[in-house]
């Protein structure tokens, strides 16, 4: 397993990270434990979670994923072997969290972190991420931006100041962004430099063969400022494995179980996914492994966050680290992208 430097820190993280958002919904605690052990045996040392997991989020399962991870640490006692990342939710989407108003202000962030640490059964996080911006902007598949001069969002200064206190208290080692824009990322970096507050070391945004929008603006920032991408949804909820082609809906597939994920279910996605799957098969490759290898190989990617619901899927996804895409294959991938760019932003 390759190791890469997390931002400007001294932490070395595996080029593949273990995603956890199915634990507590599609996966039991016992299955999650098996996934962790398998990933560790493969050389993974980076595990990513969030207070709102599992997904789809609801009040009954809220915090279950972190609880499972905490139970794992209690049983196996290897917390120190892991770079552990979690996230605090932003506003507007979680009625069951902190009375439905989880803004990125002092009270909310402190409460969220303390609760996460308790569930995770640890006294610190290696990486604490802002799950999405407090302000109104475009993320989660929204491409258009409508400026709202009356948007009363929590100032980035306030958010960073409380994160600074948490770093100084030893509860957080480093901070990161998620679902952030070029403007927001630049603001966080500027304020960190001018105020002496913690510098974001990573940005966790979607990135896959079906969504390469990170390359527009953010890739340059990631490389020049050493704030690498932690890529999520690298298989677009499994679409790039080919299992949903021609209208197929496997019994335990996420798009079968949950109809809320429409960004990965449109005619343009179908056309592009078919092209990528056909290309992989012509070259004798597993389509999912090819898609993952593409993401992992990008120079702005620090770690590729993979998730799976079965050990077979996870083992195959982990094996993608061994796949090197040659120039001819990369050129063919680019040709498909140019014909059908970013159908699942």
Catalytically annotated residues: 53
Q: Which two tokens stand for residue 83?
A: 């770079």
Q: Using CA atoms, how far apart are residues 162 and 82, in angstroms rounded to an integer?
A: 25
Inter-CA distances, 10 with 43, 174, 279, 311, Å = 18, 11, 39, 31
Q: Report residue 52 CA to chain centroid gap.
A: 13
Q: Which two tokens stand for residue 341?
A: 């760019």
H helix count then E strand count, the chain? 11, 10
Q: Using CA atoms, how far apart are residues 205 and 166, in angstroms rounded to an integer?
A: 24
End-to-end CA gap in the chain: 29
DSSP 8-class letter at 228: E
E-only strand ranges, 137-256? 172-178, 202-204, 228-231
CA angle 275, 213, 309 (to 5 degrees): 65
Residues in CB range of 36: below 8 A, 6 or more apart = 18, 47, 69, 72
The length of the chain in residues reads: 345
Residues in CB range of 85: below 8 A, 6 or more apart = 17, 46, 47, 48, 49, 125, 126, 127, 128, 129, 176, 230
Q: Is residue 30 within 8 Å of 75, Cβ to Cβ?
A: no
Q: Report residue 205 CA to chain centroid gap.
A: 6
**Please, what's the b/e burial string for 204-231 (b: 16 or more CB within 10 A of its CB; e: otherwise)?**
bbbbbbbbbbbbeebbebbeebbbbbbb
């Amino acid at each position: 397993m390759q190791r890469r430097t997390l931002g400007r820190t001294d932490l070395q993280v595996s080029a593949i990270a273990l995603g956890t958002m199915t634990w507590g919904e599609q996966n039991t605690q016992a299955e999650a434990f098996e996934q962790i052990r398998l990933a560790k045996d493969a050389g993974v040392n980076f595990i990513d979670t969030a207070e709102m997991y599992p997904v789809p989020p609801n009040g009954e399962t809220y915090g279950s994923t972190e609880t499972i991870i905490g139970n794992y640490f209690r049983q196996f006692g290897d917390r120190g072997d892991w770079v552990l990342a979690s996230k605090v939710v932003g506003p507007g989407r979680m009625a069951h969290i902190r009375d439905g108003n989880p803004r990125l202000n002092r009270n909310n962030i402190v409460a969220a972190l303390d609760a996460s640490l308790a569930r995770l059964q640890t006294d610190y996080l290696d990486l604490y991420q802002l799950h999405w911006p407090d302000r109104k902007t475009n993320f989660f598949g929204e491409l258009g931006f409508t400026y709202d001069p009356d948007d009363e969002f929590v100032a980035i200064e306030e958010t960073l100041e409380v994160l600074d206190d948490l770093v100084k208290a030893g509860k957080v080692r480093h901070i990161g962004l998620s679902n952030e824009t070029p403007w927001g990322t630049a603001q966080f970096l500027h304020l960190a430099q001018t105020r002496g507050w913690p510098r974001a070391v990573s940005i966790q945004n979607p990135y896959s063969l079906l969504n390469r929008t990170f390359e527009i603006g953010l890739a340059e920032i990631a490389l020049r400022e050493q704030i690498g991408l932690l890529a999520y949804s690298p298989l677009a909820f499994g679409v790039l494995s080919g299992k949903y082609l021609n209208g197929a809906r496997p019994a335990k597939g996420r798009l079968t179980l949950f109809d809320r994920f429409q960004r990965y279910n449109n005619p343009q996605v179908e056309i592009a996914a078919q092209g990528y799957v056909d290309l992989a098969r012509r070259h004798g490759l597993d389509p999912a492994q090819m898609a993952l290898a593409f993401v992992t190989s990008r120079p702005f990617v620090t770690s590729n966050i993979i998730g799976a619901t079965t050990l077979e899927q996870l083992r195959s996804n982990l094996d993608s680290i061994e796949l090197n895409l040659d120039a001819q294959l990369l050129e063919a991938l680019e040709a498909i992208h140019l014909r059908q760019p970013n159908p699942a932003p």
